[in-house]
Every structure is written in structure tokens, then in C-alpha cells.
Amino acid sequence: MCKFTSIPNIRRTVRFGVVSIAVVLGTFMAWPDVTHADDWGCQVMLCLSNPGGPEQYAECEPPIERLWDALRHGDPFPTCDFATGGARGGSATNTFADASYCRKPMLYWAGSEQSERMCRAIGAINAKVDYQLDDRVWRRVGNQRPTVTKFYGAGSAPSTYDIGNSTADHLQQVNRLGWRNR
């Protein structure tokens, strides 16, 4: 006699597939402004505002890779017409990163005598929602981590880090630990 033990597995697989498709379609219908962003700039804003990083989801990889390429070639930052999406106070700016505008962990010493402060990132993208800083994405941090994201939006822990003090904090650390341990 032949046993068909694989039929429950097939049913389970089909059920899982149907539920997955329903969830995806439901998401598309629940947030049409978010999921059907037809504008590259709006896609970029949506992906940059992800606390998990701009390329956490596969759907964000093409618009973000296009953004990195555009910025690398000196093209302007893309724009998004927030009036059509219902968002107010949303914007993003691209800022050049140097020793005076850099997170403390990304600062390092360079130059012939190791006396010049440098930043491992080449730029930072500041995304605002409701006129408040939502997240900052440091780009081209290194080969291992092309971006570093700091989320400031709703639900995030209050940040005591002030980017304006990063240079002073870094120099205090060098003075405390000694010149050789920088």
C-alpha cells in the first residue's frame, strides 16, 4: 500500500504561498502613496527613512544604487512632490562629510605625520519628516559597510549625540588616551 505523506506538506506550502501573496497585495492596497511611489525622489525618501538602512529591502536597492551613482557623478539630490503624497515637512539634503561634520566613530587621523583629522564617510543624507530630523545616512563609510544609518524618528531612543561636538569629543578622547592611542 502506498502512503501519501507529502500531500499535507503540499497543502501547507500552497496555503503559505496564498497567505504570502495576500499579505503583499494587502500591503500594496493599504498604502498606495508609499508602495506606488512613481517618482524616483519619493522612492529614495521612503528608502532613506527606513531605520534598518536604505537598502534593507530588495525593492529599495535599485533606487538607492541609482542615488549613490548620481551623487558620485555630482548630480543633484532627487526631489519628491510631497503635496501629492500627503506628507508635510518632508525633505532630504545631501551634505559633504569632513572632520567638522562626521560621527565620532568615523573620525580618524591621516597625513604624513598622522596629524590631519579625516572622516571615513564621504557624505551624509539628512531626511526630515514633519520638519524634524528622522534619520541620517552616512554614505561610503568603507568597503565593509557602504552606509551607516542613525534613526531619530518616532519610537527611537533620544539621542545625546551632537554632531557639532564630534571633533571636540574626538580630541578630548585623544588627549585622555594619549596621542599614540588615537
Residue 164 belongs to some domain of the structure: yes
Domains in the chain: how many in total?
1
Position 84 scores a pLDDT of 58
Cell of 81: 512632490
Residue 11 belongs to some domain of the structure: no
Residue 165: which domain range?
31-181
Residue 7 belongs to some domain of the structure: no
pLDDT one-digit tens code per residue, 26-51: 444 444 444 444 588 888 888 887 77
Q: How high does pLDDT run on average in the chain?
A: 69
Residue 36 belongs to some domain of the structure: yes
Residue 8 belongs to some domain of the structure: no
Residue 20 belongs to some domain of the structure: no
Residue 122 belongs to some domain of the structure: yes
Q: Which residue has the cell 562626521?
A: 102
pLDDT one-digit tens code per residue, 70-108: 888 888 888 776 655 555 667 778 888 888 888 888 888
Residue 10 belongs to some domain of the structure: no
Position 20 scores a pLDDT of 44
pLDDT one-digit tens code per residue, 76-85: 888 776 655 5
Q: With contact defined as beta carbons under 8 Å apart, do 63 and 40 qualify?
A: yes
Which CB contacts under 8 angstroms, 24+ apart, belong to 87-91? 87/129, 88/130, 89/128, 89/129, 89/130, 89/131, 89/132, 90/45, 90/127, 90/128, 90/129, 90/130, 91/127, 91/128
Query: Which residue, 19, 40, 167, is CA-closest to 100?
Result: 167
Residue 148 has pLDDT above 80, yes or no: no
